[in-house]
Structure 1
Amino acid sequence: MSARTKARKRAIDILFEAEQRGVNAAELLRERVATPVTPAPLPAYTGELVEGVVDHWSDINELLSTYSQGWSLERMPSVDRALLRLGAFEVIYRDDIPDAVAISEAVALATQLSTDESPTFINGLLARLAEVKPTLA
């Protein structure tokens, strides 16, 4: 597993935990940096991802709600919401990450962490965001 893949997985863990606990993900990130719960410190890229998702939270949720066909954000599994938010952040806001890489990473994590249907759903929704990305500016 590459360093960035591990950082993405840690970011998903924080986003998921924050939602489950009803706390702000950026605050949980700061808590994890100040008092780590694992032997390895959080990778810097994990912080960039979590902060980026939080900074664009409303816009990301609106995009996911708009382009998700037949599924409201609330109806999606919690882990899928975390994966989609992170993937959407990388696709829409990170020009240094190729869209195909961001989508592939999100799909791979969905394969490990979520339902059998999730990888296909996440792939389709993130691919749609990548497709409409030029119209969003």
Structure 2
Amino acid sequence: MKRREAREKAIQTLFQLENTELSVDEAITYITEEPTNSFYELLVRGTVQNQEAIDNTLTGSLENWSLDRLPKIERTVLRLAVFELLYNEDVPDRVVLNEAIELCKTFGDEKSGRFVNGVLSKLTKK
């Protein structure tokens, strides 16, 4: 599984976790039937484990929005991207931003990508 695919699967898993009462292991098994790779697991487990800190960081970067008001896909993409920005030093910030925008194109719409880019750009300037 390449990193792009791992991010797509991570978004699907995180989105599912927000809408169900599944455990992380159950959600991972539901999304990927094949043996998972370490990058995918890092993204999912890391985002879930650090969600409170991620949400606090996001809240400080949202203007005229609350985290609860965001559409679920944008909130999920932002959480994943903030996890990578804060906790995964292997990936350059620019790559994280580009990948988040691409995920929005895949799962959201054109407005999603612009919104996510604006929030993440503001966050990376801090």
TM-score above 0.5: yes
TM-score (structure 1 length as normaliser): 0.83
Q: Which residue matches 1:114?
A: 108
**3-state DSSP of counterpart to 1:117:** helix
What SS does structure 2 have at the residue aligned with 1:129? helix
Within 1, Cα distance between the matches of 2:20 and 2:5? 22
Other-structure match for 1:41? 35
Partner of 2:48: 54
> Gaps spanning 5+ residues in structure 2: where?
none
Equivalent of 2:81 in 87, 95, 104: 87
Identity of aligned residues (%): 34
CA distance 1:59–1:115, change in 2 (3 Å): same
1:9 equivalent in alignment to 2:4:
no
In structure 2, what residue type is equivalent to 1:53? T
Deviation at residue 88 of structure 1 after TM alignment? 0.5
Taking the aligned partners of 2:48 and 2:61, their CA distance within structure 1 comes to 20
Pairwise CA distance, 1:49: 0.5
**In the alignment, what sits opposite 1:20?**
19
Q: Relative to 1, partners in 2 of residues 1:117 and 1:38: Cα closer, same or farther, differing over 3 Å? A: same
Query: Which of 54, 68, 79 is the equivalent residue of 2:62?
Result: 68
Contact 1:64/1:73 (<8 A) preserved: yes
Partner of 1:135: none
If the length of structure 2 is used for normalisation, what is the TM-score? 0.90
**Structure 1 portions without partners, runs of 5+:** 133-137
User: Aligned equivalents of 1:111 and 1:21: distance in 2?
Assistant: 24
The 1-side partners of 2:73 and 2:97 are apart by 15
Q: 1:57 to 1:32 in 2, by over 3 A?
A: closer
Q: SS of 2:106's equivalent?
A: helix
CA distance in 1, matches of 2:33, 2:72: 26
